Structure 1
Amino acid sequence: MKRKYIVPVLLSSALVASSFTASATLANTQNSHEKVEKTWNEKANVPVFVKEKIAEKRAASNASNALDYLANNENKTGLKNARKNLKQKNTEKDSLGMTHVSFSQSVNDVPVEGAEVVVHYSKNDELVSVTGSHFPEAVAKSIDTTPTVSMIKAVQSAKNSVDAPDELEYNPTSELVVYPFDGKNHLTYKVNVNFLGEKPGNWFVFIDAKSGEVIDQYNAIMHANKIHQSVGTGVLGGQRKIHTTKVKQPKSGTVFSLSDESHEGLKGIYTLDANDGEIMINNSASWKDEYLRPGVDAHYNSEQVYEYFNEQHDRNSLDDNGMAIISYVHFGENYNNAFWNGRQMTYGDGDGLFMVPLSAGLDVAAHEMTHGVISNSANLQYRFESGALNESFADIFGTLVDADDWEIGEDIMGPEAKEDGRVSLRSLSDPSKYKVKVDYVPYGNGEGNYPSHMDEFYDLPRSLDNGGVHINSSITNHAAYLIGEEIGKEKLGKIFYRALTIYLTPTSNFSEARKLIVQSAVDIYGEGSAEVVATANGFDSVGIYE
C-alpha cells in the first residue's frame, strides 16, 4: 500500500534499550533503510517543498476555500476527488497569525488511519503550504465499508489478543477505520485497550470488521479544597515547595493531599499511590517520610512541566484545554521504568541498583508529559520513524524543561549503573557513548552503539522496540543538540514546538520532519535567518536531507 505524502507546496517567497534495558524506560513511519519484511507503508514518498507565489489570493482562510484549493490542484497534491474523500477536522489560528485547516481522508465517511492533510494560510490569508499524507489507493479501489462483525465482538477479540486483565481501569474505545496495511486496505475496528498490571498496556489493535481477525497491533506505552503551600523532601534529598490540599476528615482529622487545583483553567495536578489507587495524603504539611518522597517529586515535577509549556508555549496542559495532570508512583516491584499510557504518568521505584525512583528526574517527567502533548497534537504513530520522532520530541523537551544539560535520566541512575559507566539513560550530545541491547546489534552497523547519524541507522523489525523508536530517536536527538548549541535552548523549543503542533502529522518520517522543522524556523525567524541556517545544518550533520 502506498502512502503518499502531500507535496508541501510553499507558495510564499518568504526511557530504554541497553545492557540493562534502560532505553525502554521512557516510554516509523517508514524509512529508506527498511528491510523487505517491513511492508507497512514502505513505499512512502518523501514530500518536497516547492516554492512559488500563488496567483490568486484567497478570500478567507477557511475550510471551504482550503477544500477548493485541494480540489482544483490535484496535479500538485496528488489528492483525488478531495471534496468527496476529505472531511474537515478543525481550523486553528496560531500565535503568528497563521491559520491551519486540517482534514482527514475518508472512504464513505470512514476515516483512513494515519491520513491527514493540513492547508496552511499566512496571516494575510495567503495560502502558503499543504502538508501531511494520504493513501491514493484507498481512493482508487472500491472498499466495502459495511462491517459484518459487531463492535462488541471486536473489542473482546482485541482484549483477548493482548491478554488484558478482566478488570480494566478504563473501558476500551473503538472506532471503524480503513487501515492500509501490508499492501491491502482493511476495514477494521481500531480498538484501544488500556490497563496497568504487571505488564502495562496501551494497545491499539486493528480487528478486521469482516472476519474478526487481528490485522495488526502495537503497544503504545510511552516509556519514560483549600490550596496549601507545603514543603517536601524529594528522592535525592532536595527540598520541594509543592501545592497540596488541606482536607478535614471526620475521623482522622486534618490531612494534606497531593492535589493542586491552584492553576486557573487547569483541572488540577494529582499524584496517586499505585498501591491503593488513592491520592497520596500526609498528616502534616511537611512531607519528609521516605515513602512519600517519590510522590513529592512527581507532584513537584508535574507542576514544573506544566509551567514550562504554559509560559514558553502558551499551552494549557497536555491537551491545551486544561486536562488534569495525573501521576502514579510506587508502581510495580523494583520497576525500572516510567511511562505515559495515553492518560497519565506512571513511575516505578527502580530496583535501587540500576535505578532509583524514576519520579526523581525532572527530565523523565517532562519526557512522559511531552508524550501527552504529542498525543494531543501531531499524534505520531508509535512505530518506526514516526515512533522514533515521538520518542525524540519527548527527549528533546525533557532537556528543555530540565535545561542543565543534554542528558536524559541522569538523576535516576542507581549506584551499579553509574559504576558501570551508565550515568544517564540517553545522551543527546553524545548518543554513541551507550550500547544498545545485544538483540539490536545485527540490525545496525555492527558497532552496537546508539546512532547519531543516518549511516548508523538500525533497521529493526516491528517486533523489536516497535521498529527502533528508542534507538533511532537518538539521530534526531543529536540534530536537536547541534541546533540548540548554535541558537540556544529557548529558540530550539519554539521551533520544535511549532513543528510538533502545527505541521507534523501521524505518519511523518525523518525527512518530512526535517522540512517541517526548518519551515517552522522560517515562520518564526524569517527566510535566511541564522536560526534557519542552524536548523538546516543540524539535520545535514546527522544525514537527514531534503
Structure 2
Amino acid sequence: MASASASSLPKEKQLLEKMQLVQQQWDKQKSSPSFLSGKLSALKIQKESEVKSFLKENNAVYKVDPNADLILVKIEKDNLGFTHYKYVQSINGVPIEGAAFTVHVDKNGNVTATNGTLHPDASSKVKSDTKAKLSSKKAIELAWKSINLTKKDTFVPSPAVPAPLKPSNVENTTEKHNLLIYNKDGQYHLAYKVQLQFIKPYGANWQIFVDAKDGSILDSLNAVEDAATTGSGYGVLGDKKTLNTYFSNNTYYLYDVTKSAQTGVIETFTASNGTSLPGYYSVDSDNAFNSTSQRADVDAHYYAGKVYDYYYNTFGRNSFDNAGATIRSTVHYSSNYNNAYWNGSQMVYGDGDGVTFTSLSGALDVVAHELTHAVTERTAGLNYSYQSGALNESISDTFGVFNDPGDYLMGEDVYTPGKSGDALRSLSNPEAYGQPSTMSGYVNTSSDNGGVHTNSGIPNKAAYLTIQSIGKSAAGKIYYRALTQYMTPTTNFSNARAALLQSAADLYGSGSATYNAVKSAWDQVQVY
C-alpha cells in the first residue's frame, strides 16, 4: 500500500514532521505536548512577538491561542546565550493553576524546546465566566474554617528586637490569596488559592483552594517543606567554626552582612524552646559562641552561609530568590522537636529528642535541603504532592549531596546520635530506608501528600547514578538548569527526565557521553 502524502496527513502530524524532534513527552489526558525538543522553528526568533507567531503557526500542536491564552511572566537570558520566554496560561487574564509554559530559544534564534502544562480545553469549559461571586475575605474565612482554626488561634506575640537590627517579615501568621482557575478531576473551577502560613499550634504552609462561586473547598494541602565582624564557635558535633557576626551596643549577633551581592543578610535566631518565630537574635558578649547551648545556633548560621556561597559561586544565584533575599534561621524550636522545615519564609530547626535526632541544624546536607526547598519554590514551584512533590523532596536531597561531598546519605550527622552508620535516606541505596529505587516499587498512597517522602527514592537513585557517571560538578550544572529553566509546578518523573536530558543537551550536546549517562540513569530506574 502506498504511503500517504504529507499534505494528506492531519495538520498536527504535518507540523510535527517539520520539527526535527530529539525527544518528546505528551500529556495524554490533555493531548498536548509537555516537552518537545529539537529544531522546532524554521524562522529565527528575535523577540517575544515572534514567539507568539511561532505558537500561532503551530496551533495544531500546542492547541492554545497564544495571544488570548498566554501571559508573558518573564524573559530570562542565560550564560549559554539561550533566551527563555516564560508564560502562564490564563482565561480572561485569570491564570490557570500550574499552567506554566516556556519557549526556549538558542543564541542563533532557533526554538530548541518547549515545555510545561497547557490546557487546550480550558477556555471552552470555563467560557467567559471568570467573575467571582465570593469575596476574597469570605474565601479566607472559609479556608481557616476548613482547617478548624482561626487566625487568633495562631497568634504568638512578636518578640522584642534589639536596635539597630530590624528584621523584616517577623509576622507569625501570614495570609495570602489570589484568584485563579483550578483543574479538579478534569473540571475547571474559578477559585481562590488561599495560603495560610503559621507556626502555632504547628508549623504550616497551607494551600487551600476555595471555589469562588459557591465557597466549597476544592483541595487543600499543608506544603511545609521539610544562617561585620568575625567570631567563632563550636557546632553540634563539637567542631570549631569561623563565623560572620555583627557588633552593636557591646553585643555580637549572628548576623552576616558580608555577602556583597546580597541585599539582605543571613541572620540566626533562637526560639529558646518556645514556638514564637523568628524568636530572639542569637547573641554573645565576646564573639566566641562556645557554650553548649549555642552549638545549634553556630551550625545554622555557618551552614546557611555555606549554602548561599554554593549557589552564588556555582551558579551566580543570589540567595534563594536570586534577588538577595534575607536568609533567616530559627533554632531551639519547641522542645524535643524532631524536625526541620522551610515554612515559606524562613528555616526552622528543632533540637531533637536526643534519641532519634540531635539538633537538626548540625548537618550541612539538612540545611542545604531546606534552603533548596526555598530555591525550588522560587523557580520550578514544584507542587508538593504525588510525583511533583516527590521530585521536590528529591531535588532538595540531591542538592544536599551537592553541598555535602563525601557520601550519598542524608542527615547522617544528626540522625540517631547514639548509633553510627545510619541516616534518614540514601541516594545510593533507597531501599535501606524503606524507599523504592525503581518505578516497579512505586508506592500508590494518599498519605504524606501522595508519598512524597517515599517515592522520592526513585529520582534520588537516578541522581546517584548520574553523579556516579559524570561527577558532582557536571551533574550539579544539569540539575540546576533543569530546575530553573525546564521544570514547572506539575513536572512529574517523566517530565523531569526530559528536563534533565534537555539541560544535558544544552550544556554538553545531545550526542555526548554526559547526555547518554543521564539517559541511562533514568532508564535504570524505569522512567522512560
TM-score, structure 1 as length reference:
0.85
Give the aligned partner of residue 84 of structure 1: 68
CA contact (8 A) 1:11 1:128 kept: no
Question: What do residues 306-338 of structure 1 show as CA deviations (whole Å, max 9, x unaligned)?
Answer: 000001111001001100100010112111100
1:11 and 1:493, CA in 2 relative to 1: closer, same or farther beyond 3 A? Answer: farther
Give the aligned partner of residue 222 of structure 1: 225
Secondary structure of 1:105 counterpart = strand
Match of 1:451 among 428, 436, 449: 436
Cα distance in 2 for residues equivalent to 1:112 and 1:143: 14
> Which range is displaced more, 255-264 or 159-168?
159-168
Cα distance in 2 for residues equivalent to 1:336 and 1:202: 18
1:186 and 1:358, CA in 2 relative to 1: closer, same or farther beyond 3 A? Answer: same
Cα distance in 2 for residues equivalent to 1:66 and 1:242: 49
> Which range is displaced more, 388-397 or 62-71?
62-71
Cα offset for 1:155? 1.1
CA contact (8 A) 1:158 1:191 kept: yes
TM-score, structure 2 as length reference:
0.88
Letter in 2 for 1:264: S
Give the aligned partner of residue 514 of structure 1: 497
Secondary structure of 2:480 counterpart = helix
Higher relative contact order (CA 8 A, sep 6+): 1
How much identity, in percent, do the aligned residues show? 40
Task: List runs of 5+ in structure 2 lacking aligned partners.
Answer: 1-14, 156-170
Determine if the alignment matches structure 1 residue 212 to structure 2 residue 208.
no
Secondary structure of 1:134 counterpart = coil
1:49 and 1:80, CA in 2 relative to 1: closer, same or farther beyond 3 A? Answer: closer
Secondary structure of 1:222 counterpart = coil
Determine if the alignment matches structure 1 residue 123 to structure 2 residue 107.
yes
CA contact (8 A) 2:36 2:114 kept: no
CA contact (8 A) 2:33 2:115 kept: no
Cα offset for 1:52? 4.3
> Which range is displaced more, 164-173 or 397-406?
164-173
Secondary structure of 2:437 counterpart = coil
Give the aligned partner of residue 64 of structure 1: 49
Give the aligned partner of residue 344 of structure 2: 342
Cα offset for 1:11? 5.3
Give the aligned partner of residue 116 of structure 2: 132
Determine if the alignment matches structure 1 residue 270 to structure 2 residue 253.
no
Determine if the alignment matches structure 1 residue 293 to structure 2 residue 292.
no
Secondary structure of 1:172 counterpart = strand
CA contact (8 A) 2:35 2:114 kept: no
CA contact (8 A) 2:331 2:350 kept: yes
Match of 1:187 among 153, 169, 190: 190
Q: How does 1:133-282 map to 2 (within 5 A)?
A: 133-141=117-125, 142-162=127-147, 163=149, 165-166=151-152, 167=155, 169-223=172-226, 227-248=228-249, 254-266=250-262, 267-275=264-272, 277-282=279-284
CA contact (8 A) 1:340 1:369 kept: yes
CA contact (8 A) 1:198 1:332 kept: no
Letter in 1 for 2:429: D
CA contact (8 A) 2:209 2:217 kept: yes
Cα distance in 1 for residues equivalent to 2:522 and 2:466: 8
Letter in 2 for 1:514: R
Cα distance in 1 for residues equivalent to 2:150 and 2:311: 34
Secondary structure of 1:97 counterpart = coil
Cα distance in 2 for residues equivalent to 1:451 and 1:10: 40
Letter in 1 for 2:301: H
CA contact (8 A) 2:435 2:456 kept: no
Cα distance in 2 for residues equivalent to 1:204 and 1:520: 31
Cα distance in 2 for residues equivalent to 1:269 and 1:312: 19
Match of 1:106 among 65, 74, 90: 90
Question: What do residues 339-392 of structure 1 show as CA deviations (whole Å, max 9, x unaligned)?
Answer: 011111100100001100000010000000000100110000000111111111
Match of 1:55 among 42, 58, 63: 42
Letter in 2 for 1:240: K
1:335 and 1:55, CA in 2 relative to 1: closer, same or farther beyond 3 A? Answer: same
Match of 1:377 among 367, 376, 379: 379
